[in-house]
């Protein structure tokens, strides 16, 4: 009888121990890191919301006001609203921040293209990543034909001219 009791107790303890291994591990991020993630997420949400309000504003070469935007003027206008001052040219923006892969792209990252046929090796277009959804990577930009609008990287035109993604918010927040 005692053997059955001991054996039964061992089975219960063993079962509880295996279930404990299935529980989520203790938090690996500090409260400060959680707060920074939350702050970053709020910033990018606000940035996206503001950028979307500008949809439909016409394209204007070298434009950087509500009367019309070129691509980098649009990006500058949106980021300036949140106290982040950027350089104006797409090719100069491409030198800021850190390279980010397509898989690691986050809302608020900048997406770049080599579109200018006379300068095939130079980045000449920029947009702001909004999200990745069932249709792929979605970004907002000011394009010649559509003005401020939303496009997908999977569109053939953008896929063939894709140059890269840069994360600049981290550097701007740190004063780099």
Q: Tell me, what's the pLDDT at 172?
A: 59
Given the residues 88, 99, 141, 144, the one annotated as active site: 141
Percent residues over pLDDT 90 in the chain: 62
Is there a catalytic annotation at residue 161? Answer: no
141 is catalytic: yes
- pLDDT > 70 in the chain, percent: 73
Task: For residue 117, name the pLDDT band (cuts at 50, 70, 90).
Answer: low
Catalytic, out of 99, 125, 144, 161: 125
What mean pLDDT do residues 160-167 have?
95
| CB count in 10 Å sphere of residue 90 | 24
- Give the containing element (helix H, strand E) for 122: none
Domain residue ranges of the chain, discontinuous segments joined by +? 35-173
| 94-122: b (≥16 Cβ within 10 Å) or e | beebeebeeeebebbbbbbbbbeeeeeee
Instruction: Tell me the CB-side half-sphere exposure of residue 168, using CA atoms within 13 A.
Output: 24
Known catalytic residue: 144? no
Q: What is the pLDDT of residue 175?
A: 47
The pLDDT of residue 23 is above 80: no
Identified catalytic residue from 71, 99, 144, 161: 71
Average pLDDT, the chain: 81
- Residue 164, phi then psi, degrees to nearest 5: 155, 175
35-173: CATH class: alpha beta
Q: Is the pLDDT of residue 63 over 50?
A: yes
pLDDT for the residue 134: 87
What pLDDT score does 133 carry?
Answer: 86
8 A C-beta contact, residue 70 and residue 142: yes
pLDDT at 170: 76
């Amino acid at each position: 009888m005692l053997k059955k009791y001991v054996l039964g107790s061992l089975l219960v303890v063993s079962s509880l121990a295996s279930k404990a291994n299935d529980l989520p591990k203790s938090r690996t991020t500090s409260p400060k890191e959680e707060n920074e993630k939350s702050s970053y997420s709020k910033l990018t949400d606000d940035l996206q919301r503001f950028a979307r309000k500008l949809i439909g504003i016409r394209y204007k070469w070298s434009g950087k006001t509500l009367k019309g935007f070129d691509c980098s003027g649009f990006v500058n206008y949106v980021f300036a609203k949140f106290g982040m001052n950027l350089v104006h040219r797409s090719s100069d923006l491409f030198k800021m921040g850190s390279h980010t892969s397509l898989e690691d792209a986050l809302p608020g990252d900048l997406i770049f293209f080599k579109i200018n046929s006379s300068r095939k090796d130079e980045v000449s277009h920029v947009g702001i990543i909004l999200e990745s959804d069932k249709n792929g990577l979605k970004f907002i930009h000011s394009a010649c034909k559509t003005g401020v609008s939303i496009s997908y990287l999977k569109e053939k035109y953008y896929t063939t001219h894709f140059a890269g993604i840069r994360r600049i918010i981290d550097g701007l927040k740190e004063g780099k």
